[in-house]
Amino acid sequence: MSDIEIIKKLEKVGLDVLDQFKTEKQPNINIPIRSLSNVYFDAKQGLIKLGDKVQERAYFNIAQTKKFMQTILIAGQIRDLMKQHKPALDTRQLFYILRGTIPGTNEDVFNEQGESDGIIEDVEVSIDALREQLKLVAVPKGIMAGPILIEDTHTGDILDYTKMGTAGGAIPPIVEEDAFKIKSCSAKYILVVEKYAVWNLLNQERYWKKNNCLLITGKGQPARAERRLVSRLAKELKLPVYVFCDMDVYGYYIYSVYKQGSINLAFFSEKAATPSAKYIGFCVDDFKKFDLPKSVLMKMDKGDLKRIEEVKNYDWFKSKEWQGELDKLKNFGHKIESDSLVTKSIEFTANEYLPTKIDNKMFLN
Amino acid sequence: MSDIEIIKKLEKVGLDVLDQFKTEKQPNINIPIRSLSNVYFDAKQGLIKLGDKVQERAYFNIAQTKKFMQTILIAGQIRDLMKQHKPALDTRQLFYILRGTIPGTNEDVFNEQGESDGIIEDVEVSIDALREQLKLVAVPKGIMAGPILIEDTHTGDILDYTKMGTAGGAIPPIVEEDAFKIKSCSAKYILVVEKYAVWNLLNQERYWKKNNCLLITGKGQPARAERRLVSRLAKELKLPVYVFCDMDVYGYYIYSVYKQGSINLAFFSEKAATPSAKYIGFCVDDFKKFDLPKSVLMKMDKGDLKRIEEVKNYDWFKSKEWQGELDKLKNFGHKIESDSLVTKSIEFTANEYLPTKIDNKMFLN
């Protein structure tokens, strides 16, 4: 969707309401429901998705009048900013722009950012466009290195991710096609690493060069930009994606966020997940397989064990392989963090662990 | 200090102890004390510093034997890794390498990372070298844009921070002279921005190009790398540093972390602070001066007011100007976040606020 198409969609929200007023219909806006009751796991597509339940937001319903107004205000403000080619803002900046009292009253338009954030998501879902396409950004955290050339269309810079030094290349907040254009890429796969320390080690060892891959980290739980970028790269370049996490329930879950998305951002998940992603470990069986020393083991606590049960119940962890792995983890009683693998040797991760797993297709799905 | 000099200093820790054994002296290591009792504010230098109190860590003192052993082990391990030119690790990776039981006992060398982290700091202080010089990294967060060319000596890449796109250039974990070499810089000043959203707005507007400056953010409370980099740039390039934060007690404090350092990392502060840094706002008087709308105001809560009293008591906030500003803030009763300035206009920060403050030297010191 181009900016012009998005502006038109935003304008349609207002024009439809105007039509309703003119034809003396009850003005209302249809908003897809974003609550848990309308979120489901589409096993066939391997995606956490939003269902098709829709909520009417009616002008003449006192309980909905304010939200009705807020929806129109936000759609209108975003449209104005886009039409004027203003820089991308974050949702707090948009909240400040729209704050203030309703003229002639003591009533605030928005009491707090939580309110406007919710409406922004309503608008996103209504017009089927991501926040980033509406030029609203979240703080990115991710770093990338590897053989890919990107054109940043806003600045005109050509970004060569083989030349980004020890730091690696920062992932920008907006990685949509028209902003972050892939010029060329010779990588054979994408390695997504949970932890910065592990990414940093592999980058110093020039893992991406020796193995001809893209090396990406979201520094723990990934932000929106990293998820969206991995999804785009996988789809457009048709590259396999391997996710390398801690062997603990939080690592497993981070993998699932890259792969299937997350519940509370189901609408975003549909566009930012990578159902083809494969889990490359660390797994319980790897402890013996790779003959690791005991000093990598970290005892799990009650919280870890409770979380395992929760994750076991998620529909997207229901495969035989994952149920088995989660049971193994529980019985094993210890976690193994990906950064602990240096105890075997500093080079173990890059030279032995990852190549063995990839060459022998030792993936969990 | 070169790597070779640092290796020699690390070896001296062990050789001194060996000498003590040979000459039948009580083996002990002198460790500068890092606790609050040995931290003070040097008003003349404008730095939070470590005093000269030293603690003996004696081998024959049962309460200190384990720490004695740990100190030797860590110094030795760091020396080995440096001598073998291994990649930089983080302190958790080092903890894992050194974990495990003492041969012939059930006693763990380190029970948890907190122990080894403390000893690493002891070693840093003892040999007067930063953790980064010992090739131990912390996760960096910062982003930079502007007219500076850097040579990354590990990868050989030349990093041009005018060509880093919307993302800006990531700041690497180690920004020491020998790793992150300044080739050239035509900037006239350094603008340090607390918040990513504000940095992102200014970068999109190419503020650094129009104003010929370096534009840096540490995304809130800065990590080590950003503090160290700003300090190096200010010293080596002799550039003025302006810090742009929220008008709230947390913003004021973040400014002080860049300028004078912090208490719990006093040793690091000496090397990573920028005493010449000036606070460029936002300040209480600016609300009227720049005729801002009321919608930028956010009511302070009890926690904010309590924190103001605490910060007022810090020695490095004792100047007449800062005591006055903190009193004004308390009386004002509201905070003004730097990202709220978009309510005036999207361009206000870049085109009016910052130039007015800088041209008229409207700084707090």
ipTM of the complex, rounded to two decimals: 0.96
- A169-199 b/e (C-beta count within 10 Å ≥ 16 → b): bbbbbbbbeebbeeeebebebbbbbbbbbbb
Residue closest to A113 by CA, chosen among A85, A134, A89, A142: A89
Whether A294 and B179 lie within 8 Å, measured CB to CB: no
pLDDT confidence tier of residue B106, bands split at 50, 70 and 90: confident
At A104 the pLDDT is: 85
pLDDT at B168 over 90: yes
pLDDT at B45 over 90: yes
pLDDT per position as a tens digit, B273-300:
999 999 999 999 999 999 999 999 999 9
At B104 the pLDDT is: 85
At B105 the pLDDT is: 85
At B107 the pLDDT is: 83
A171 lies within 8 A of chain B by CB: yes
Q: Could you tell me the fold of the domain covering A143-359? A: Dna Topoisomerase Vi A Subunit; Chain: A, domain 2 (3.40.1360)
Burial of residue A313 (number of CB atoms within 10 Å: 0-12, 13-18, 19+): exposed
A3-137 is classed in which CATH architecture? Orthogonal Bundle (1.10)
Q: Which amino acid is at B276?
A: S
Q: What is the pLDDT along chain A (365 residues), one digit of tens a residue?
A: 899 999 999 999 999 999 999 998 899 999 999 988 999 999 999 999 999 999 999 999 999 999 999 999 999 999 999 999 999 999 999 999 999 888 888 888 998 999 999 999 999 999 999 999 999 999 999 999 999 999 999 999 999 999 999 999 999 999 999 999 999 999 999 999 999 999 999 999 999 999 999 999 999 999 999 999 999 999 999 999 999 999 999 999 999 999 999 988 899 988 999 999 999 999 999 999 999 999 999 999 999 999 999 999 999 999 999 999 999 999 999 999 999 999 999 999 999 999 999 999 999 98
A173 lies within 8 A of chain B by CB: yes
The CB density around residue B304, as the number of other CB atoms within 10 Å, is 18
In whole angstroms, what separates CA B162 from the centre of its chain?
Answer: 24
- Give the nearest partner residue to B165 out of A99, A152, A206, using CB atoms: A152
Q: Strands, DSSP E only, in chain B?
A: 28-32, 39-42, 47-50, 54-58, 89-90, 136-137, 143-145, 148-152, 158-160, 169-170, 180-185, 189-193, 213-217, 241-244, 278-279, 297-299, 334-336
B83 lies within 8 A of chain A by CB: no
At B292 the pLDDT is: 97
Single pTM value for the model:
0.96
Whether A97 and B343 lie within 8 Å, measured CB to CB: yes
Degrees (nearest 5) of the Cα angle A339, A240, A267?
Answer: 90
> How do the domains of chain A map onto residue ranges?
3-137, 143-359
Report the distance separating Cα B242 and Cα A147, nearest Å.
Answer: 37
Please identify which of the residues B96, B161, B207, B314 carries the catalytic annotation: B96
- Give the nearest partner residue to A346 out of B86, B158, B205, using CB atoms: B86
pLDDT per position as a tens digit, B311-332:
999 999 999 999 999 999 999 9
Residue closest to A32 by CA, chosen among A268, A364, A282: A268
Kindly state the average pLDDT of the residues B302-307: 97
pLDDT at B344 over 90: yes
At B249 the pLDDT is: 97
Mutate to test the interface with B, among A82, A91, A96 (most CBs of B within 10 A): A96
B140 lies within 8 A of chain A by CB: yes
Q: Which residue has the tokens 């929220």?
A: B246
Provide the mean pLDDT of chain B: 96
Nearest CA to CA, how far is A342 from chain B (Å)? 7
Mutate to test the interface with A, among B82, B152, B155, B201 (most CBs of A within 10 A): B155
Which residue does chain A place closest to B172, by CA atoms?
A167
pLDDT at B83 over 90: yes
Q: Could you tell me the fold of the domain covering B187-359? A: Dna Topoisomerase Vi A Subunit; Chain: A, domain 2 (3.40.1360)
Report the distance separating Cα B218 and Cα B162, nearest Å.
Answer: 18
B213 lies within 8 A of chain A by CB: no
At A78 the pLDDT is: 98
Tokens of B313: 């008591």
Whether B295 and A201 lie within 8 Å, measured CB to CB: no
